[in-house]
Homo-oligomer: A and B are copies of this chain.
Amino acid sequence: MLSKKEIQEQRVRGYFIEATKELLKSEGLKSVSVRNIADKAGYSFATLYNYFKDAKDLVFLCVKDFREECSAYTASKSHSAVAGSRRLKAIISAYMEYFIQYPGVFDLFFNEKLSEIDRQGNTGGLVTSLLEELCEAEWQHCINKKLFSAREVAQKRAALLYGTTGLLTLYLNRCYPGSYEAFTKQAGHFIDQQLKQSS
């Protein structure tokens, strides 16, 4: 039975992935080493190479999981808001909150240069498309209700992607603004500003 082997193999792979996810969320990318991951998974560092080509290979496998986690968090935080601009703001705010909670995941998503390693090149797309995907339905709703034109939506969507990425980069990497309160205030202003009519 090959399936038996495959089941066990997938199980072990899962142990390593889980260990990597824990490390990324707690210690951050800097503490993700082959030996640290293997220790947490209960194996020798050499075993990791039997299941993965690389530690980075392993790290990028976490992106999909974190994406789903962020998606779920965002949904839970926005489902009660009224559709349209209100819910858009709730979604974008929750999206940012998620990365504030897990700065290591933000690092992995936006700071770490994966272009040199990720040969399929799909990981980069997974990351940049996350916010767009989360907001897609709401933007459609806005167009349908004639709140914004398709052209406006395209502009606002891009501006919000760039702005949220910049806000998070500056706050998480440069402590700018200086406090979390100031950050949420700035983020709120920015989102409101971009969602306003007649941009």
Contacts and interface: CB of A to CB of B under 8 A. Distances in A.
Interface of A: 110-113, 115, 121, 124, 127-128, 155, 158-159, 161-167, 169-170, 173-176, 186, 189-190, 193-194, 196, 198-199
A190 B159 contact: yes
Contacts of A186: 158
A169 B110 contact: yes
A128 B190 CA distance: 17
A176 B127 CA distance: 10
Given A113-B173, A115-B175, A124-B174, 14 more contacts: A115-B174, A127-B174, A128-B176, A155-B193, A158-B186, A159-B159, A159-B190, A159-B194, A162-B163, A162-B164, A164-B166, A165-B166, A166-B166, A166-B169
Contacts of A161: 166, 170
Q: How many copies does the complex hold?
A: 2
Nearest to A167: B162
Contacts of A110: 169-170, 173-174
A39 to B, nearest CB: 23
Contacts of A176: 124, 128
Please provide the 4 A-B residue pairs with the shortest distance between their CB atoms, ordered closest to farther: A165-B166, A166-B166, A162-B166, A162-B163
A155 B167 CA distance: 14
A7 B132 CA distance: 56
27 contacts: A110-B169, A110-B170, A111-B111, A111-B173, A115-B174, A115-B175, A124-B175, A128-B176, A155-B189, A155-B193, A158-B186, A158-B189, A158-B190, A159-B163, A159-B193, A161-B166, A161-B170, A162-B162, A162-B164, A162-B166, A162-B167, A162-B170, A163-B166, A166-B167, A169-B169, A198-B198, A199-B199
